[in-house]
Structure 1
Amino acid sequence: MTRDHGYARYRLDGCRCYVCGFARSLYDENRDRALAYGTWQPWVDAEPLRVHIRYLQSCEMGLRAIAAAAPCDRKRLQAVLHGRPERGTGPQEKVRPALAASVLAVEPTLENLAPSTLLNPVGTRRRAHALVAVGWPQQHLALHLGMDPGNFGRMLSSEHVIVRRAFAVRSMYDELWRADPAAHGATLGGINRARAYAADRGWAPPAAWDDDTIDEPTAYPDWTGKCGTPEGFWAHRYIAVPACPPCRAAFNAQGRKRRTAS
């Protein structure tokens, strides 16, 4: 592989062209300035980087995906984790700050995961349920995704969903949650049946979900705007929706507090 002209080619390949020489001069100038101010840090501890790489791997990101997101050479990540066995070296103890910063900035978002990676389906399921709750028939949602209705139903009941499907459902949700199903071909009967079906199963509408927490397994929808408080318990009765667990817990805690005070 031929390196681009610059500091690395000057140092590693011995190129002495103008571009490489200028890059070396600029490097020396920046280094001397940093030394003068006491901020020179050519190497940093590799352990935080190693921990972050393992965290990303635990989120189903492979080294190839991490390297592409950073971006950096995958072999550099392998050296951080395992060293270079062909050279008889163990995991790197130090890395360049630029490499550490670029990899530490990588997060396991849908955009960074491989399309076939398996995910917890909770966010995908909640988004689809929320659309049904505002009147979108499931067959319309399946058609929007290019899926057979039977496969759509199985996707929502499965233990995992692949990244490609999760991303497609998220995009569909962002597009349709404020749209009128009737304007997209749904009949009044189909809309009413979808809403009734969702209500029977306690599926929360989009307004009850926070985009920042909808994918978190422990999150609950905020049906009333006061969920998690004693007032939320009574607000549930006003809107004729069974009290959610946070509201029941808050209501029961208030009752215990009153009994203790008396």
Structure 2
Amino acid sequence: MTRPHGYARYRLDGCRCYVCGWAVAQYNDAREHAMRRGTWQPWTDAEPVRVHLRNLQSCGMGLRTVAAASNVDRKRLQAILSGRPERGTGPQEKVRPELAAAVLAVEPTLENLAPNTLISPLGTRRRAHALVAVGWPQHYLAARLGMTDSNYGAMLRRDHVLVRRALAVRAFYDELWNVDPTEHGATAAGIARARQRAATNGWAPVGAWDDDTIDDPEAFPDWTGKCGTPEGFWSHRYIKVPACQPCRDAFNADQRERGAQRNAS
């Protein structure tokens, strides 16, 4: 792995270019100021880094992937986890704060996970169903993945989905969410059937989901712009869509509160 120009390349690779020299001068200056203030901390506990590395591994991220994402050499990560057996040393107890910050900043995003890692299908399922709800025939979406209708449907019903499939569905969702299906050859009858299928199954349309929370198991679709409130319950009736559970819960809670107020008066 080629290190970027800076302090590490100066010390470890012997580079004496202007950028590396400047980085060392800045480091030394900051070190001297910190030592005078009594705040110099060249090392930090490695245990939080070790725990984070294990968590990333449990999500399907290998050390090579973590090393590339953090720009930290894989052997240094291995030393934190299990030490250097060839040197007879155990897991590293201290690390540089900069290394700790770099590793702790790595998250198990879809882009960082291995393509065949199994993950929750929730976000994938919501995106696929939302496109059907706005008129995209499911067989068209299946074709985008090179799948048959039956295999595509089975994928959405499984308890897990491959990362590569999730990324592919997210990509065509981002591309198609505001595109008219007729522009891609969908017929009026096909669009009507897709919308009816979504309505029958209670699938929320694209506009009901927030991009930031569509993968969140705790999130719910906002059909009306007021879902989760008593007003949302009545808005469902106005748009002729059965009330969602959050709206029913809010409406029932409101009715109980009103009843309690009447009984108390």
Same fold by TM-score greater than 0.5: yes
Q: Distance in 2 between matches of 1:6 and 1:224?
A: 53
Q: Indicate if the aligned counterparts of 1:6 and 1:19 stay in contact, CA closer than 8 A.
A: no
Partner residue, 1:174: 174
SS of match in other structure, 2:111 = helix
Q: Distance in 2 between matches of 1:103 and 1:39?
A: 23
Q: Indicate if the aligned counterparts of 2:6 and 2:24 stay in contact, CA closer than 8 A.
A: no
Q: Distance in 2 between matches of 1:7 and 1:234?
A: 63
Partner residue, 1:126: 126
Which amino acid is 1:70 matched to? S
Partner residue, 1:244: 244
Q: Distance in 2 between matches of 1:225 and 1:105?
A: 34
Equivalences, count: 260
Q: Distance in 1 between matches of 2:145 and 2:194?
A: 18
Alpha-carbon spacing, 1:23–1:224, altered in 2? closer, same or farther (3 Å)? closer
Alpha-carbon spacing, 1:6–1:131, altered in 2? closer, same or farther (3 Å)? closer
Which deviations, in whole Å up to 9, do the C-alpha atoms of 1:113-147 show, x marking residues without a partner? 11111110000010000000000001111122222
Alpha-carbon spacing, 1:39–1:154, altered in 2? closer, same or farther (3 Å)? same
Partner residue, 1:83: 83
1:91-130 aligned within 5 A: 91-130=91-130
SS of match in other structure, 1:110 = coil
Q: Distance in 1 between matches of 2:16 and 2:198?
A: 69
Which amino acid is 1:57 matched to? Q
SS of match in other structure, 2:232 = helix
Which deviations, in whole Å up to 9, do the C-alpha atoms of 1:140-173 show, x marking residues without a partner? 1112222222221111111111111100100100
Runs of 4+ in 1 over 4 A off after TM superposition: 1-13, 17-25
Q: 1:206 offset after TM fit, Å? A: 0.7
TM-score scaled to structure 2, two decimals?
A: 0.88
Alpha-carbon spacing, 1:8–1:238, altered in 2? closer, same or farther (3 Å)? closer
TM-score scaled to structure 1, two decimals?
A: 0.89
Alpha-carbon spacing, 1:28–1:199, altered in 2? closer, same or farther (3 Å)? same
Which amino acid is 2:163 matched to? V
SS of match in other structure, 1:170 = helix
Q: Indicate if the aligned counterparts of 2:118 and 2:160 stay in contact, CA closer than 8 A.
A: yes
Q: 1:182 offset after TM fit, Å? A: 0.4
SS of match in other structure, 1:112 = coil
Partner residue, 2:218: 218
Partner residue, 1:189: 189
Q: Distance in 1 between matches of 2:137 and 2:23?
A: 64
Q: Distance in 2 between matches of 1:66 and 1:2?
A: 16
Q: Distance in 1 between matches of 2:128 and 2:155?
A: 10
State the Cα RMSD in Å: 2.6
Q: Which moved more, 1:251-260 or 1:218-227?
A: 251-260
> Percent identity, aligned pairs only?
69
Partner residue, 2:56: 56
Partner residue, 1:42: 42
